[in-house]
Amino acid sequence: MRHFTVRLFAAVVFLSLVTCHPSRAMAAGTAVEAKGAAGTAAISGKVTFSGSAPAREKIKMAADPVCLAQHKEAALSEDLVANNGALQNVFVYVKDGLAGKTFPPPTTPVVIDQQGCQYHPHVFGIQVGQPLEILNSDATLHNINVQPKENKRFNIAQPMKGMKTRKSFDKPEMAVPFKCNVHPWMGAYGHVLDHPFFGVTAEDGSFTLKNLPAGTYTVEAWHEKLGAQTQSVTVADGETKQVSFSFKK
């Protein structure tokens, strides 16, 4: 049972790869379930963006025809995606309140796919020690240049379509930037945590942190351009608490 959601997550990623649905990234990292000290509480909610969102920029991919050919219409920048007030790609996680508890990492990898010369997902969470599978679905060279402060750095080439490389992180670290130097517009953020209570907001701004032990937590919502906000939340066993965050420019 405890692997079920993880598998489901992997299946979602896989299916969405096959169907090439643009919102394939939305479930990334949300459904990884606690092993160890898991509980039955949950925190869910919405992240909103107030004010008028700037238009997403069209990415100029002309430097690489392989990238260009994969988009009928120009791909759009992902650093600020707000749909009717809902803010996507916000990383929501338990920042504090789990001291003393340990959560063994899942053995199922988080997959980051390079497709259409963009990273999918654009923002993701991963546990310390959990495998990260880096996949190239494009028939062109990507280099994955990852320069964390706490963890081991790497910069590796994936010139062939279908190439996979496994990596993992040894220490918790927020906002590890992933970059491709061949395609300077490509960027993603990975958040390395020592527990599984994190999620990334979907197109509708929603997130859920499931299987929490009862307790009082500091929950943080992090956005790459808009910064971070925290709230204190107390949840009891079996309870689902609603929490919302609102960002503005």
Number of helices and strands in the chain (H, E) = 2, 18
Q: Which stretch binds other proteins (CB under 8 A): 9-17, 51-59, 73-81, 154-162?
A: 154-162
Exactly one of 17, 182, 194, 230 binds ligand HEC (CB under 6 A); that residue is 182
> Are residues 118 and 140 in contact, defined by beta-carbon separation less than 8 angstroms?
no
Is 155 among the residues that bind other proteins (CB under 8 A)? yes
- Least distance in Å: CB of 62 to other proteins? 9
Of the pair 90, 111, the CB lying nearest other proteins is at: 111
Structure-block tokens of residue 30: 């949300």
Closest to ligand HEC by CB, 114 vs 130, is: 114
With contact defined as beta carbons under 8 Å apart, do 41 and 213 qualify? yes
- For residues 46-85, which are near other proteins according to CB under 8 A? 63-64
By beta-carbon proximity to ligand HEC, the closer residue of 143 and 240 is: 143
**112 CB-near residues (< 8 Å, 6+ apart):** 119, 120, 121, 124, 132, 133, 134, 135, 178, 188, 190
Least distance to ligand HEC, CB of residue 63, Å: 12
> Do residues 59 and 44 lie in contact, with contact meaning Cβ atoms separated by under 8 Å?
no
8 A C-beta contact, residue 137 and residue 20: no
Whichever of 130 and 136 has its CB closer to ligand HEC, that residue is 136
Provide, rounded to whole angstroms, the least separation between the CB of residue 150 and ligand HEC: 22
158-163 LR contacts (CB < 8 Å, sep 24+): 158/114, 158/134, 160/136, 161/136, 161/137, 162/135, 162/136, 162/137, 163/135, 163/136
Give dist(CA 246, CA 57) in Å, integer. Answer: 23
Among 8, 156, 214, 236, binds other proteins (CB under 8 A): 156
Binds 63, which of Cu ion, ligand HEC, other proteins, none (CB < 5 to 8 A, cut-off by type)? Answer: other proteins
Nearer to other proteins, 27 or 141 (CB): 141
Query: Which residues contact ligand HEC by CB under 6 A?
Result: 141, 143, 181-182
Residues that bind other proteins (CB under 8 A): 63-64, 140-141, 143-145, 147, 152-160, 163, 165, 181-184
